[in-house]
Amino acid sequence: MEMRLALALLLVAAAASQLPSAAEAANYTVGDDKGWNPDVDYTAWVKKHKPFYKGDWLIFQYQNGRSDVVQVGEVGYENCDKASALSSYSKGTTYAFQLKEAKDYYFICSYGYCYSGMKLHVTAKSSSSGSSSSSSSGGSSSDSSSDSSDDSSSDTPPPSSKKSKPKSSAAPPSLLAGTPYAAIATGAALLLNRML
């Protein structure tokens, strides 16, 4: 009986170790409390808050009519040129941008402030090991899944909080449903119940 129990527990542990981890996306307020404004060192902000991961959000807070958020490629970033903009946003006072892919993202302000450093470059990694940073601004950004038209926002609704949240590595039970591991976990649970 003890041998069966040990085997069942081993099977459950093995199945659980194969489950994908679900990381919670972090939210970063670009520029922290200074927001998306001139005279902010966004390169230092990125260094302070990196690494960034796929699924994280960048929250741009700015003054309507004074600045905008333009997603560009690396050349547009280096030259402060919005001619080949991937997306542009200037409505309201807040813009939430999700890092939907693991890659470099670049943002500039096209109101002339880019030349004095109002630009951001962030690199999103594919996954995290459970670490996260607090809200921040600046850094690097490049391509994203946002629309390429002016004043477009991402398809995903903005996050509810402007502060970064720690990422969790525990998979919620709802993630088990419909996965190949659901059958293993169910079988292990049934075997364990029979043994007890």
Give backbone dihedrals phi and psi of 52, rounded to 5 degrees, phi first.
-110, 150
CATH number at residue 62: 2.60.40.420
| Position 29 in a domain | yes
Q: Which residue has the higher pLDDT, 165 or 14?
A: 14
Position 127 scores a pLDDT of 77
Tell me whether residue 53 is in a domain.
yes
Looking at per-residue pLDDT, the higher value among 58 and 20 belongs to 58
In a domain, 71, yes or no: yes
pLDDT of 44 > 90? The answer is yes
Give a yes or no: residue 46 inside a domain: yes
Whose tokens are 């230092």? That residue is 44
Q: Would you mind telling me the total number of residues written for the chain in this entry?
A: 196
Tell me the three state secondary structure of residue 189: helix
Q: Is residue 93 part of a domain?
A: yes
Tell me the C-alpha distance between 17 and 7, whole Å: 15
User: Residue 118's domain spans which residues?
Assistant: 23-122
- pLDDT digits 0-9 by tens, 110-166: 999 999 999 999 999 997 554 444 444 443 333 333 333 344 444 444 444 434 433
Establish if 51 belongs to a structural domain.
Answer: yes
Q: Are 195 and 12 in contact (CB under 8 A)?
A: no
Number of structural domains, the chain? 1
